[in-house]
């Protein structure tokens, strides 16, 4: 497969991913429009610092991934290993946040009596938060599995083709991009209120 | 091929933009907050797309797919809000 073909195929796939996430963002937009006040109040339950830290982690992982693409074999393993580690760290912090929300008793579908703590608009915000960040986390998990297989190939000196790395990179950056929109829409909404 | 200097600069710019979004969030801008947030996120997305995803210099079929990809969400949002806001 030529580089051009690999990129074209991957972009077609990412294009379908964009459609997939658009549905989610549309849902968010309509409900935010309808429950603006509640969304701002519910956003106060977000752990802004953890979200900020996770954004820095993802941006750094994307940077390492981009550096890996055109570097020597040794450096590739180093950069990809770094990306993998940061991806794991991101997921760890994300699940720690879910744990904190569950402890607060406001994790949808898990916390009993959530309706006593939040009104219906605020509960919708939490539902959307878990749906959006959960779908994103799922994409991260798939990305990490693919990354682990590339690293294994490198480790056993069965180097993957350059276009395999290129496709991996495109996917990783796309998942990063989704987070860059999730972060302000969920975490920063209620900061000034 | 994108030089590693551009990659470093893009990373630095993204971190600065992230600081900017977070700082702006502490100011109550009302409805404009969303516009500012989306603009800054859009700038970050553009940087990552152009440099990290190497769309800069890729004028082939991939670029065509990327541009067309935005058409569908535009229709989706456009028609939904045209209906929703005129009720």
- pLDDT tens by residue, B17-55: 999 999 999 998 888 888 999 999 999 999 999 999 998
Residue A140's nearest CA partner among A99, A166, A179, A96 is A179
The minimum CA-CA distance between B45 and chain A, rounded to whole Å, is: 6
Compute the distance between CA of residue A100 and CA of residue B61 in angstroms, rounded to an integer. 45
Judge whether residue A1 has pLDDT over 80: no
Compute the distance between CA of residue B5 and CA of residue A43 in angstroms, rounded to an integer. 38
Backbone angles phi, psi at B55, to 5 degrees: -75, -25
Q: Are residues B15 and B50 in the same domain?
A: yes
Q: How far is CA B16 from CA A62, B9, B19, B40, B54, in A?
A: 15, 10, 5, 10, 21
Q: Are residues B30 and B69 in the same domain?
A: no
CB contact under 8 A, A18 and B29: no
Q: Are residues B51 and B74 in the same domain?
A: no
Distance of CA A61 to the CA centre of its chain: 12
CB contact under 8 A, A15 and B68: yes
Q: Are residues B64 and B38 in the same domain?
A: no
Torsion angle of the four alpha carbons A171, A177, A178, A179, in this order, in degrees rounded to the nearest 10: 110
Sorted by where each begins, the domain ranges of chain A are 3-187
Residues of B with CB under 8 A from a CB of A: 1-2, 4, 7-8, 10-11, 14-15, 18, 21-22, 25-29, 33, 37-38, 40-41, 44-45, 48-49, 51-53, 58, 60-62, 65-66, 68-70, 72-73, 76-77, 80-81, 84
pLDDT bucket at A91, cuts 50 / 70 / 90: very high
Asked whether the beta carbons of A132 and B15 are under 8 A apart, the reply is no
The secondary structure of residue A160, as a DSSP letter, is: P
Of B11, B27, B49, the CB nearest to A192: B27
Q: Are residues B42 and B70 in the same domain?
A: no
| pLDDT > 70 fraction of chain A, expressed in percent and rounded | 100
Residue range A12-54, pLDDT digits in tens:
999 999 999 999 999 999 999 999 999 999 999 999 999 999 9
Instruction: Tell me what pLDDT residue A153 has.
Output: 93
CATH top-level class of A3-187: mainly alpha
Q: Are residues B52 and B79 in the same domain?
A: no
Instruction: Tell me what pLDDT residue B60 has.
Output: 80
Q: Are residues B46 and B16 in the same domain?
A: yes
CB contact under 8 A, A29 and B77: yes
CB contact under 8 A, A7 and B58: yes
Q: How far is CA A177 from CA A109, A136, A138, A139, A173, in A?
A: 27, 10, 15, 12, 6
Question: Is the model's pTM score more than 0.80?
Answer: yes
Instruction: Tell me what pLDDT residue B7 has.
Output: 95
Q: Are residues B12 and B40 in the same domain?
A: yes
> What token pair was written down for A79?
């950069």
Q: Are residues B69 and B44 in the same domain?
A: no
Chain A residues in contact with B58 (beta carbon < 8 A): 7
Asked whether the beta carbons of B61 and A8 are under 8 A apart, the reply is yes
Q: Are residues B22 and B39 in the same domain?
A: yes
pLDDT bucket at B57, cuts 50 / 70 / 90: confident
Residue B22: which domain range? 1-56
């Amino acid at each position: 497969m030529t580089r051009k073909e690999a990129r074209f195929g991957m972009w077609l796939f990412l294009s379908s991913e964009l459609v997939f996430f658009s549905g989610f963002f549309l849902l968010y937009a309509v409900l935010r429009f309808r429950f603006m006040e509640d969304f701002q109040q519910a956003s106060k339950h977000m752990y802004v610092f953890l979200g900020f830290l996770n954004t820095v982690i993802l941006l750094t992982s994307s940077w390492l991934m981009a550096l890996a693409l055109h570097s020597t074999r040794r450096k590739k393993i180093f950069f990809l290993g770094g990306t993998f580690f940061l991806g794991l760290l991101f997921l760890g912090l994300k699940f720690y946040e879910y744990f904190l929300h569950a402890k607060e008793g406001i994790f949808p579908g898990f916390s009993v009596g959530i309706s006593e703590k939040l009104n219906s608009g605020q509960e919708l915000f939490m539902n959307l938060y878990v749906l959006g960040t959960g779908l994103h986390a799922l994409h991260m998990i798939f990305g990490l599995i693919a990354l682990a297989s590339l690293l294994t190939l490198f480790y056993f000196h069965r180097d993957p083709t350059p276009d395999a790395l290129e496709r991996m990179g495109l996917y990783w950056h796309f998942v990063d991009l989704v987070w860059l929109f999730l972060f302000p829409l969920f975490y920063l909404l209620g900061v000034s209120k | 091929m994108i030089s590693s200097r551009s990659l470093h600069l893009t990373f630095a710019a993204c971190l600065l933009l992230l600081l900017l979004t977070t700082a702006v969030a502490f100011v109550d801008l009302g409805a404009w907050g969303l516009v500012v947030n989306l603009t800054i996120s859009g700038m970050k997305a553009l940087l990552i797309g152009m440099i990290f995803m190497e769309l800069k210099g890729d004028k082939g079929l991939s670029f065509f797919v990327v541009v067309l990809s935005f058409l569908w969400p535009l229709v989706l949002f456009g028609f939904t809000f045209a209906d929703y806001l005129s009720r």
